[in-house]
Amino acid sequence: MKEDFDIYGDVTIFDTTYRTNKYNLICAPIVGVNSHWKNVMFGCAFIADEKIETFEWVLSTFKKSVGGSEPASIFTDQDLAMSVAIQKVFPHSRHRLCIWHLIKNAVSRFGALKRDTTFKDAFNKCLTGCVTEEEFEHCWTIMITTYKLENNRWFKRLYSLKEKWCTALSKDFFSAGILSSQRSESANNVVGFKANKNTSLTDFFKIFKQTVTRWRNNEFDADFKCSNSKPTSNLPFYGMIKHAAEVYTQTIFRYFETEFEFSIGCVTNLQYQTQGYFFYEVKLENNEASKQKVTFNMADSSIACSCKNFEEVGWLCYHCIQMLQQHSITKIPDRYIIMRWTKYAKAHVWRRRDEESANERIPIKYIPWRQIMVRKGYNLILKCQQHLETKNLIESEFKKLDILADEIRNGLEKEEQDAASQEAESMQQKNTTPTTETEEQIPTVMDPERENTKGRSKRIKGHFEKGKQGNKKKTKAMTAKGDTREFGTITPIQNPKLF
């Protein structure tokens, strides 16, 4: 879990929605999302209450266990005590509120506006539909004015917390595209599926451990699939699509493919340029709401979009993809490839484990040497496949290593053959038959003498010792009729009734 947090701990979900009924303890899992967009468990706590001191202890203990790291974004529900604890323990993290909880609580505050679909649409647009801060302020003001909510306390308090729930105000912090703490709630649902009010704490821990094991097996299966197969696409594998299929996991490749498809229908308009900087206005055809401002620097191929999709999610938006293609850039620049979304997100973990195994004096028991070398070779190939010079270097060095390995192996085999032939000649001279090691080690074990022990009853005669088969007595089960017959004693012929 510590290794997973080092890789995927930039986004963390902390929730306390599940209670173990028998002890009234609160289960508080700390969950993240891995490179395949699947749940990954960072830790779990059992707490007796939801006070500020309790949350401070949980978060500080977790922070200490992971080496003092802080996530970029942490999602929770609308709990004031949890919010205060996060500010003290994770001062550099962006605290985000769960939108699912927010909508659920908002419905109870709407009153007569519950049946107004236009109000719901306006409220949802303020939550997740705005791109810039100016757009959010405009939509919020119109909603408050139209539905006369200026004096509503709940909406005033909600507006004071806008930095924690409005997506337009949180694009500068990486959130992996997560909008709520449903990752943690799904963990609670999975764990609580088998638990009931009579489940003990030890049994609950077993269920929790089984859940984590199942998640890890799903991750291993996804890693194997990415390493041994290529994703399919309706688009030809050229340019950025081909590069994305090589570096991203198959799940993230689908998201990038969607952005790439939208980029095909984009319309660009060059506003002005100066000293190698190009300022564009990009939008989808006949869609003014998708209009964004894109800046491109010709010197280092850097690009920035006003939608800030890369800063928030971790892959380029269709606005940026369109502009890169327009400037004949057919590969995703390295600065816009986040390691956590790639196939080799755990490459340094494998490398460290290989080094630790090599330093151990005991033989490697669970990680074969062949598997270690396959991982090293695969990571090296991924690094060198983008450039022709590195590819040629790998191929030439591989040929040299192949020739050198053959020479060494042939020399060792020749020495072994010479030693064997010399041993055979010496044995012939002595005219003796060599005794193998197996014959010397295996003794002859005889059956011990049998004795009649005290309390031993007379031996029961076997089936064929009682006489002919026709003279034997029939058991009660064999003579029974109907459904009272013992299952399996007599094969049912007609109308059999199963369990």
Q: Tokens 């009010």 belong to which residue?
A: 197
What is the per-residue pLDDT across 180-199, written as a single tens digit (0 to 9) for each? 666 766 766 666 656 666 77
Res 498 pLDDT > 50: no
% of the chain at pLDDT higher than 70: 76
Res 57 pLDDT > 90: yes
- For residue 149, the number of C-alpha atoms closer than 13 Å in the C-beta half-sphere is 21
Cα radius of gyration (the chain): 35
Q: Which of 435, 340, 367, 452 is nearest to 3 (CA)?
A: 340
For residue 298, what are its two tokens? 């010709």
The H helix count followed by the E strand count for the chain is 19, 10
Label residue 367 by pLDDT band (50, 70, 90): low
From residue 77, alpha-carbon distances to 179, 182, 392 in Å are 12, 10, 54
When pLDDT is averaged across residues 471-480 and rounded to a whole number, the result is 47
Res 359 pLDDT > 80: no
What is the per-residue pLDDT across 100-117, written as a single tens digit (0 to 9) for each? 778 777 777 777 777 788
Amino acid at 247: V
Give the number of other CB atoms < 10 A from CB of residue 263. 22
pTM here is 0.67
- In the DSSP assignment, the letter for residue 248 is B
Decide if 35 contacts 340 (C-beta within 8 A). Answer: yes
Pairing of strands 277-284, 18-20: unpaired
Decide if 317 contacts 225 (C-beta within 8 A). Answer: no
Res 357 pLDDT > 90: no
Q: Tokens 């595209």 belong to which residue?
A: 177
Res 372 pLDDT > 90: no
What is the per-residue pLDDT across 149-185, written as a single tens digit (0 to 9) for each? 888 888 888 898 888 888 888 888 888 888 766 676 6
How does DSSP assign 136-187, residue by residue? HHHHHHHHHHHTT-TT-HHHHHHHHTHHHH-GGG-TTS--TT--SSHHHHHH
Q: Which of 341, 59, 5, 42 is nearest to 187 (CA)?
A: 42
What is the per-residue pLDDT across 295-322, written as a single tens digit (0 to 9) for each? 999 988 899 999 899 999 999 999 999 9
- State the Cα–Cα distance between residues 216 and 92, nearest whole angstrom: 29
Whole-number pLDDT of residue 148? 87
198 CB-near residues (< 8 Å, 6+ apart): 22
